[in-house]
Homo-oligomer: A and B are copies of this chain.
Amino acid sequence: MYNFEFCVSTEIFFGKGQVVRLGPAIKKRADRILLVYGGGSIKRNGVYDDVVGTLNAAGVSFVELSGVEPNPRITTVRRGAALCREHDLQAVLGVGGGSTIDCAKVIGAAVRYDGDPWEFVADRTKITDSLPIFTVLTAAATGSEMDNTAVISNLETNDKLGTGHPSMLPVASVLDPVYTYTCSAHQTAAGTADIMSHTFENYFSRADDFALLDGMAEAILKTCIRYGPVALEKPDDYEARANLMWASSHAINGLIAKGKADAWSVHSMEHQLSAYYDITHGDGLAILTPAWMRHVLSDATLGRFVRYGVNVWGLDPALPGREIAERAIDLTQDFFVRRLHIPATLREVGVDGSKLELMAQKASTRALQTAAFVPLFPEDVLAIYRSCLG
């Protein structure tokens, strides 16, 4: 167990109608803000009107940046930062899913950075400050509403990189489960896979001495397994949406991670797919995860997979360990494919075999080779990619 610092100061307003708390919360920090959103779904489902309503009521004026991409691009960050400077804006509000919120965070840091923002996306140690960040979440997935990191894509270089700084932690976030009712089945499925993947990245670690965190992770996984399919079948099921939404925040805010080392193996492999093929992040994670599990299962890692099978999938602990592990992996894949209806292979989401070697080289970072649950070298990543090509 490592020493750690834990500080998640985001003020969360959780529940139906809680958006009315947003305007007053922003007003304490800013009179003029940048309002960042995506393709405009928030204008169809009423979220935009709710947000504008609370901003107006609190006397907060805003400039808009719309059209943030599903894998948000550095070019959009530059546009947003320019707007903030031009209008002397004092905070950034992201209204949407993880992509929009990530974009808002990096805009906030870009305004306080003297240089091109790609520099600090590529090297987070260059960040020293950010405008205050606020968020209204409309999709349970990335947990960006309660963490200080963001992922940004550069289409020129085919890079998709994570960055972050304590100053990018949202000051306040509105989590209204009703706002996720209009998420499509596909978005809901991909979001659920993303929450599960964040949890796996921490749960499958070399550390075996922090059982409290393992139990917390299992609680999140069981929540996704129980409520993901419910939300797909009944999009306006408040209980399902609420459980998934709060699970998304805790999967990545440090609760199940601090004190352990992690290398984010599957995310590193998936980011290459998104960077080169612009696929949905959650789809890529769901396709890669079972293949990665099969690749890293060994006598050395068996114990962790047995724990996973027994505690998450309810498998009989009296079964042989290897059988528990293999059944747990099969159940994981089955869940993604049959319950969440996510494609099983890379070809189905448009990834061909032409760039696997290049992507494998880029995915196998130093962290993957040294700190991962099981070290992954380029040949390992390539084998995993190939096994799920289809």
Contact = CB atoms under 8 A, between A and B. Distances in A.
A46 B330 CA distance: 52
A209 B239 contact: yes
Contacts of A21: 5
A315 interface: no
Contacts of A3: 13-18
A215 B220 contact: yes
Given A2-B15, A239-B1, A246 B7 contact: no
B220 A218 contact: no
A242 interface: yes
A216 interface: yes
A87 interface: no
Interface size class of A (residues with CB under 8 A): 35 or more
Contact of A247 (B16, B18, B212, B226): B212
A259 B250 CA distance: 15
Contact of A258 (B4, B7, B8, B14): B14
Contact of A7 (B12, B17, B216, B250): B12
A154 interface: no
Given A219-B216, A259-B14, A211 B226 contact: yes
Contacts of A220: 212, 215
A7 B7 contact: no
A361 to B, nearest CB: 36
A214 B216 CA distance: 10
Interface in A1-40: 1-18, 21
Contacts of A277: none
Contacts of A216: 215-216, 219, 250
A280 interface: no
A222 interface: yes
A243 interface: yes
Contacts of A211: 222-223, 226-227, 243
A150 B13 CA distance: 24
B2 A11 contact: no
Interface string A162-200: 000000000000000000000000000000000000000
A6 B245 CA distance: 14
A238 interface: yes
A12 B15 CA distance: 27
Contact of A14 (B4, B8, B227, B239): B4
Given A1-B238, A210-B239, 18 more contacts: A2-B15, A3-B17, A5-B12, A5-B14, A5-B21, A7-B9, A8-B9, A14-B258, A15-B259, A211-B222, A212-B243, A212-B246, A215-B216, A215-B219, A215-B222, A216-B219, A216-B250, A246-B259
